């Protein structure tokens, strides 16, 4: 099982990895400041990729702080299902304090876990869970 490190095996590293998630999204977890997209993988553990634009977070310091907090909360969630996960940042994220970020992300990870558990088996990948539901 994973330790508290952040090895390459738990990261989406190649553009192809990101493309596969974007083209095969099965779970969406929306929030005012984030959007989490997830697609199942066959690796037996979760992998994460982060997408933050300069348009939404102007300064590199802001983008790096947010990414550090996300990676930290991801490492602490050993119970995440075997999905490739992309976390996208939305506008207004720069003004959120670290403590509030931790709370938001804890809630988002729990919502992702619940949606993954309620997901039908992998034999029916055409069904999408979570579209059209309001954000929290």
Q: Which fold has domain 11-118?
A: Ribosomal Protein S5; domain 2 (3.30.230)
- Going from N- to C-terminal start, the domains of the chain cover 11-118
9 Cβ contact partners less than 8 Å away, ≥ 6 residues apart: 43, 45, 47
pTM for this entry: 0.80
Q: What's the pLDDT at 79?
A: 81
Tell me the per-residue pLDDT of 14-68, one tens digit each, with 9 for 90 and over: 899 899 999 989 999 999 999 999 999 888 888 999 999 899 888 999 999 999 9
User: How far from 30 is each of 13, 36, 93, 123, CA to CA, in Å?
Assistant: 23, 6, 14, 25
Tell me the per-residue pLDDT of 85-122, one tens digit each, with 9 for 90 and over: 999 998 888 889 999 999 999 999 999 999 988 877 54
Q: What's the pLDDT at 124?
A: 42
Exposed, middle or buried, 70 (CB in 10 Å: 0-12/13-18/19+)?
buried
The token pair at 29 is: 């977890």
């Amino acid at each position: 099982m994973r330790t508290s490190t952040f090895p390459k095996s738990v990261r989406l590293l190649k553009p192809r990895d990101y493309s596969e998630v974007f083209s095969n999204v099965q779970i969406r977890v929306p929030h005012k400041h984030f959007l989490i997209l997830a697609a199942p993988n066959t690796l037996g553990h979760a992998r994460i990729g982060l997408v933050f634009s300069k348009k939404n977070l102007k300064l590199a310091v802001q983008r790096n702080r947010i990414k550090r907090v996300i990676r930290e909360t991801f490492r602490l969630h050993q119970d995440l299902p075997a999905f490739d996960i992309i976390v996208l940042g939305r506008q207004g994220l720069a003004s959120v304090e670290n403590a509030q970020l931790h709370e938001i992300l804890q809630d988002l990870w729990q919502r992702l876990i619940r949606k993954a558990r309620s997901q039908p088996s992998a034999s029916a990948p055409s069904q999408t869970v979570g579209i059209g539901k309001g954000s929290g």
